[in-house]
Amino acid sequence: MQSELTPGEVVLVGGGPGDPDLLTVAGLRAIQQADVVVHDRLGANAALAETRADAELVNVGKIPRGDFTPQEDINALLVDRACKGLKVVRLKGGDSFVFGRGGEEWLACAEAGVPVRVIPGVTSAVSVPALAGIPVTHRGMSQGFTVVSGHVPPGDPRSDVNWDALARSGTTLVLLMAVQNLPLIAAHLIGAGLSATTPTAIVSDGSTEHQHRLSSTLGEVGDVAEVEGVRPPAIVVVGEVAGFDFSAVG
Ligand code: SAH
């Protein structure tokens, strides 16, 4: 991994799920060298303490259903700072290319002739289940996992996810951004043939001191989430592996 930042380049850094120890070494080095760090609400924001004293820090955090900086403005900011010859880090939660809109930022830089590269991050889709004691695959139980965004519900014209196929996929389902639509998603999966008794876990604030796991079934997970007042960010794991809690074993 190239560890020196070049003036005038944008580096898309995946910050991991939140705990700064889950930032990669390359990601940390980039943050330490940056002239500008454009960061979000999610991710290893504690690592911002590692920036140079004279670095510019810009918070463009998107809050679900709240105020947010339009993606076009973020793209323009990255291009503007790079064109001024600055070393620009775009710090995102997890991995920039997993629901991180890193691809759009890459294309905006490329169109503007700005050099851009990516430092991969530890995605919450795998790390948050692991930290809660859930392996997304397990020999003899699950030969795969499917990572899906639940930010639009099944049947919504904006959704391009085939939820019926997911119900029959035989893989573990890992749902991101699914808290709001969880009752609709669970009902749809059950209607499409997935058993209502399928173990289902919700893990919120993974890797932080507030990490919390709720274990239930697909049939009950919607009610459980509502009664417990689950709030984003949370990962929902549907499948036999969600019956494990390795953190309580051994
Ligand atoms: N690029 C990120 C995902 C961004 S989408 C990644 O690779 O992890 C935002 C969603 O990620 C949240 O709604 C939630 O579903 C999930 N998420 C991110 N960080 C999380 C955390 N610390 N705990 C639980 N879920 C998290």
Residue 124 Cα to ligand 1 midpoint, Å, equals 5
Is the pLDDT at 1 greater than 90? The verdict is no
61 band by pLDDT with thresholds 50, 70 and 90: confident
Average pLDDT over residues 26-33: 97
pLDDT, residue 66, reads 62
Backbone φ and ψ of 208, nearest 5°: -100, 175
Question: What average pLDDT does this structure show over 231-243?
Answer: 97
- State the closest ligand 1 atom to the C-alpha of 177, by its place in the atom list counted from 1: 13
40 is catalytic: yes
Residue nearest to atom 6 of ligand 1 (CA): 94
How far apart, in whole angstroms, are the C-alpha atoms of residue 6 and residue 197? 53
- Where along the chain do the CATH 3.40.1010.10 domains lie? 10-119
How confident is the model over 130-160, as pLDDT tens digits? 999 999 999 999 999 999 999 999 999 999 9
Structure-block tokens of residue 197 = 């008794």
Q: Which CATH code for domain 124-248?
A: 3.30.950.10
Q: What is the C-alpha to C-alpha distance for residues 193 and 164, in angstroms, rounded to an integer?
A: 8
Residue from 124, 151, 210 to probe ligand 1 pocket by mutation (most atoms less than 8 Å from CB): 124
Q: Looking at residues 163-184, what average pLDDT do you find?
A: 97
Ligand 1: nearest atom to the Cα of 123 = 7
User: Is 87 assigned a catalytic role?
Assistant: no
Q: Which residue out of 40, 87, 92, 95 is catalytically annotated? A: 40
Q: pTM here?
A: 0.96
Token digits of residue 109: 């830089």
The CATH 3.30.950.10 portion of the chain extends over 124-248
**206 C-alpha to ligand 1 centroid (Å):** 9
Sorting pLDDT into bands at 50, 70 and 90, what band is 63? Answer: low
Superfamily the domain 10-119 falls into:
Tetrapyrrole methylase, N-terminal domain (3.40.1010.10)
Average the pLDDT over each of 51-55, 66-70, 80-84 and give the range with the smallest value: 66-70
What's the gap in Å between 234 CA and the centre of ligand 1?
7
- Per DSSP, helices labelled H in the chain are 25-33, 71-83, 102-111, 124-131, 163-167, 182-191, 221-228
How far does residue 93's CA lie from ligand 1's centre (Å)? 7
pLDDT at 216 over 80: yes
pLDDT band for position 65 (50/70/90)?
low
Q: Is 232 in the pocket of ligand 1 (CB under 6 A)?
A: yes
